[in-house]
Amino acid sequence: MKKTIHTYKTWIILGTALAIIIVGSLVIEKLGFFSETYDNNSANIEKGFLESLVGNKKEVLEIDKNEYDRRMLLLANNPVRSLATSSTSTLPVKYLWPADGVVYPNVGAILPFNRIIAYYGNFYSKQMGVLGEYPEDEMLAKLNTERAKWERADPETPTIPAIHYIAITAQQGPGPNGTYILRMPEDQIQNAIRIADKVEGIAFLDMQIGLSNLKTELPLLEKYLALPNVHLGLDPEFAMRKGHLPGKMIGTFDAVDINYAIDTLARLVNENNLPPKVLVIHRFTTSMMTNYQNIKSVPEVQVVIHMDGWGAPSLKFGTYRIVVTPEPVEFAGFKIFYKNDLKQPPNRLVTPEELLDLRPRPIYIQYQ
């Protein structure tokens, strides 16, 4: 009798163990470890099951990398890539653009999927650009006219309107802090953002830091840059790192300064769950930006080197080939002056078609 009871208990234990193994196997198979069929449908179901186990964590999205690469090659505007004609080499021809080492941006990146068409200036001044020269509705009508020109010239690239507002302006006098700058009041900055919202566009806050520095001035703009549609512009012309007065000498930014701005923008993007920021850096001399090769590439920030010299078309194109083309960073920009560009023969503005022939093609266009 004892033997029978012992055998019975043994069978119960074995049966229970077998049941545990079977149930465990089903659970493991449910999690996909032993599944060999694992088609798309079951993958999605299991993915949802797994996500429910970790608190419905949101799926990480990515940009269309193939489309990004295709558009970057179009912007590079290189001739057909072919093998070197030298009989001693079969290596592909090396092109400067697209720039090496550029990382893919986060989801929501504006560039290169769109072209930014910006109006520049300050509401207090009719001399500093078109923003202060015309009433708001007239100014926006002109901006839309320029957008239409670009969309006709390059119908494959949508345009985004931008209000590029000088939030910190260099001054001839030292001011209360001896830094030769004037910080715009909050209502003026908010007005620039309001106008950008009105046309479903974006705003840039531009900095002319005089004898101050980015570590002092940039934090004052962070509350605006933490908004999803507000971006940043840096003007090295008025960054007087060597102590000269604004307007007496052309200033400069080094990669160290630019990287500080990039780090700040990247932090704001991550802290506020924002799409990538665009950083525009003005340039019309080689000395305005030094050590370009050390400028960071991060998924949170898209960097534009913007040629903003004025003059006849041939002069502007020559400057572009000197300060933009040989030192690739990420994207290129080009400024058009409604008045100053007309002062030299042939006394006309450059056209979108002409700018699309440049290497690289500018993806940020600014009108002053």
Residues 156, 20, single domain; the answer is no
Residues 32, 125, single domain; the answer is no
Provide the pLDDT for residue 61: 79
**Domain termination site, one of 53, 74, 92:** 53
Residues 189, 323, single domain; the answer is yes
Provide the pLDDT for residue 297: 98
Name the average pLDDT for the chain: 84
**Domain termination site, one of 53, 74, 91:** 53
359's torsion region: left (phi>0), alpha (psi -120 to 50) or beta? beta
Dump pLDDT digits (tens) for 275-315. 999 999 999 999 999 999 999 999 999 999 999 999 999 99
Dump pLDDT digits (tens) for 43-85. 332 333 233 333 343 445 789 999 999 999 999 998 764 334 4
The Cα 138–Cα 84 span in angstroms is 53
* Domain annotation covers residue 72: no
Contact (CB, 8 A) for 170 and 208: yes
Residues 34, 154, single domain; the answer is no
Residues 207, 302, single domain; the answer is yes
* Domain annotation covers residue 92: no
Residues 132, 231, single domain; the answer is yes
CATH number of the domain bearing residue 318: 3.20.20
pLDDT band at 241 (very low <50, low <70, confident <90, very high): confident
* Domain annotation covers residue 88: no
Residues 156, 285, single domain; the answer is yes
Residues 31, 128, single domain; the answer is no
* Domain annotation covers residue 45: yes
* Domain annotation covers residue 101: no
Structural domain boundaries, residue 26:
2-53
Residues 246, 343, single domain; the answer is yes
Q: Is the pLDDT of residue 232 over 70?
A: yes
Residues 301, 185, single domain; the answer is yes
Alpha-helical segments (H) within the chain: 2-30, 40-53, 65-76, 136-153, 186-198, 214-217, 222-225, 255-272, 313-323, 352-355
Q: Domain tally for the chain?
A: 2
**Domain termination site, one of 30, 53, 76:** 53
User: Of 166, 196, 197, 159, nearest to 183 (Cα)?
Assistant: 166
* Domain annotation covers residue 218: yes
* Domain annotation covers residue 346: yes
* Domain annotation covers residue 67: no
Helix axes 136-153, 186-198, angle to 10 degrees: 50
Both tokens assigned to 14: 């074995």
User: Of the given ranges (70-74, 86-90, 97-101, 185-189), which has the lowest mean pLDDT?
Assistant: 86-90
Dump pLDDT digits (tens) for 132-147. 999 999 999 999 999 9
Residues 190, 311, single domain; the answer is yes
Both tokens assigned to 165: 């507002």
Residues 32, 159, single domain; the answer is no
* H or E element in which residue 253 lies: strand 253-254
User: Of 166, 273, 279, 163, nearest to 227 (Cα)?
Assistant: 273
